[in-house]
Amino acid sequence: MIDVDHNTQQSSGKIFQQDCKKDLSAAVAAFTQAIKLNPKAEEPYYHRANAYAAMGNYQAAVTDYTEVIRQNTGRLGFSSGTYWNRARAYEKLGEKQKAISDLTQLIGKNKSSNADEYLLRANLYKASGNKESAIADYKIAEKLLQQYADGVFDTGMMDTRYQQMLDQVRNELSNMGVAVTVPKTTTGTILHTIAKTEVERALNLARLQSQHPIVKNFDAQLQDLYKQLVNTQPQVDQKVVKNLIANAAYEKIDNLKIERSPTVGRSPSQLLTKYTLDSPIIGVIDSQKSELESLIRRNKF
C-alpha cells in the first residue's frame, strides 16, 4: 500500500528545497553584481557569504567572510557575525583549529557573554582531543546559561531552548568526569513561580472577594516567594519580575479569548454551545480577563 501522505510530504519537501536553491542562487548573483559595481563595499560580501553557507558551499563562504574581515571598517557591525559564521563554515569543512581561532577572536579579552560561542569552542576542543580546554569552556557556558535562566540578561534569554542547552552541558560535563551541582531552587524557578501565582491569584480574584481565604492563601504564597527572591543569587532587576508576570498574564488572556470566542478553529466553542452570553460562566471569564488586564497594567513600566 502506498503511503500517500508520506510521498506527498517528500514531494513538497523537494519542491521547497528547489525553490530555496533558486532563491539562494539568485541572491548570490545579485550580490556578485553588487560586488562588481563596488568591490570595496563589505556588505555584499557578507550577504553573499551567508547565501553560500546556506547552499552548503562553505569554502566560497569562507572566502567571502575573509574578505569582509580583511576590509572591515567597523561601520556596519559585521565583525562579530562574520567571525561566528566563518567559524561555523570552518567547522563544516573540518578545519577545527581555524574555527577555534575565530571563536577565540570573537570571545575576546573582555570575555563574551554569549554561551553559544563557548559551547561551539568547547565542542571543537573536545573533538580535537583538548579535554582540559573543552571542560573550561563548558563550565563557562554552564554559568552563562544558568544566568540566562535566572533572568540576569532580562527575560529575552529565559527561553526553554537555553534550559535544554543547560541540561545538555551539565550532562556533557558529567560524562567527562566533572562533578556538577544542580541547585534545587534557582532565581529563575522562583521568578516563574511568582508569575504563575500572580496569574492564578488574578483568576480567583475575578470570582472571589479579596479577603476570601483562597485569595489570602495566594497572598501568603506571594509574600513568601518575594522574600525568597530577595535572598537569591543572582539578584534580578524588578523589570524582569514585572515582565514575566505581564507575559504570563498575556498568555492566559489569549487562552481565555480562544475559550470565549464563538469558534475554536473550525468548530463551535464548547462554552458557547452550552451557555448563552449572559451566563454566569461567561461572565466569570470576562471578569478574569479584566483582572488579568489590571495585573498587566500594574506590571508595566
Q: pLDDT tens for residues 41-87?
A: 889 999 999 999 999 999 999 999 999 999 886 667 788 899 999 99
Please report which confidence band the pLDDT of residue 268 belongs to, taking 50, 70 and 90 as the band edges: low
- CATH topology match: 19-71+78-106 vs 111-178: no
Cα separation values, 119 from 125, 190, 223, Å:
10, 27, 38
d(CA 24, CA 28): 6
Asked if residue 78 lies in contact with residue 106, where contact means CB atoms within 8 angstroms, the answer is no
How much is the pTM? 0.81
Helix H or strand E encompassing 252: helix 238-260
* Per-residue pLDDT, 71: 87
Query: Who's near 277: CB < 8 A, 6+ residues apart?
Result: none
d(CA 107, CA 124): 15
In the predicted structure, residue 165 carries a pLDDT above the cut 90: yes
pLDDT tens digits, one per residue of 9-48: 343 334 334 545 678 999 999 999 999 999 988 899 999 9
The third-level CATH classification (topology) of the domain covering 19-71+78-106 is 1.25.40
Asked if residue 45 lies in contact with residue 64, where contact means CB atoms within 8 angstroms, the answer is yes
Mean pLDDT of the chain: 87
d(CA 234, CA 154): 12
Query: Who's near 194: CB < 8 A, 6+ residues apart?
Result: 222, 225, 226, 229, 241, 244, 245
Architecture of domain 111-178: Up-down Bundle (1.20)
Q: Where are the domains of the chain?
A: 19-71+78-106, 111-178, 187-298
**Average pLDDT, integer, range 163-187:** 94
State how far Cα 182 lies from the chain centre.
Answer: 22
d(CA 238, CA 261): 34
**Number of alpha carbons in the 13 Å side-chain half-sphere of residue 235:** 5
Angle at 259 between CA 253 and CA 262, to 5 degrees: 120
Amino acid at 100: I
d(CA 204, CA 210): 9
Length of the chain in residues, anyone?
Answer: 301
pLDDT tens digits, one per residue of 271-282: 655 655 566 777
**CA nearest neighbour of 140 among 167, 164, 111:** 111
